[in-house]
Structures are given as C-alpha cells and as structure tokens.
Amino acid sequence: MKLNKKSTIEDILNHPKGREMLAKYNVPCLGCPMAAMEMEDLKIEDVAKQYGIELEKMLKELNEEN
C-alpha cells in the first residue's frame, strides 16, 4: 500500500518501515496516550503540520522500494 498525506498513524505503523520512520522524524505520537486512542483517525498530514515534520520527505522514504 502506498502511503500518502491522508494515511493514518495506524496505516504507517502497519508499514514495515513505519515505526522506524516515525522515530527518525521524531513524531511524538508513538508515546502520546491521547494519540494511542486515535491512531485509526489521526492523519499524518495533521501531525506533520502540527510538529513541523517534513511530510513529503518522510512519505518518499516510506514508499521507496528496497
């Protein structure tokens, strides 16, 4: 599945490189108790905007073929 800006945090966590990439870009949702309840609704676009994360760069890395 190709990830995009509307992908949820849950979608990204289900990706083989998801946790690694969220940690690399310092996405705080991994340890946030509120985010844990909203993983299936929380869009990466909104998280990136709120925390100043380079969304396009992160999505490109996630979607690269290995």
CA dihedral for 29, 65, 58, 4, sign (positive or negative): negative
Q: What is the pLDDT of residue 40?
A: 81
Q: Where are the domains of the chain?
A: 9-63
Q: Tell whether the model's pLDDT for residue 35 goes beyond 80.
A: no
Q: Tell whether the model's pLDDT for residue 44 goes beyond 70.
A: yes
Q: Kindly state the average pLDDT of the residues 34-41.
A: 76
Sequence-separated (6 or more) residues with CB below 8 Å from residue 47: 9, 27, 29, 53
By the 8 A CB rule, do 47 and 9 touch? yes
Percent of the chain with pLDDT over 90: 52
How much is the pTM? 0.82
Q: What is the pLDDT of residue 55?
A: 94
Rounded CA-CA distance 45/8 in Å is 8
Q: What is the pLDDT of residue 34?
A: 72
Q: Token pair of 29, please?
A: 């949702």
Rounded CA-CA distance 28/49 in Å is 13
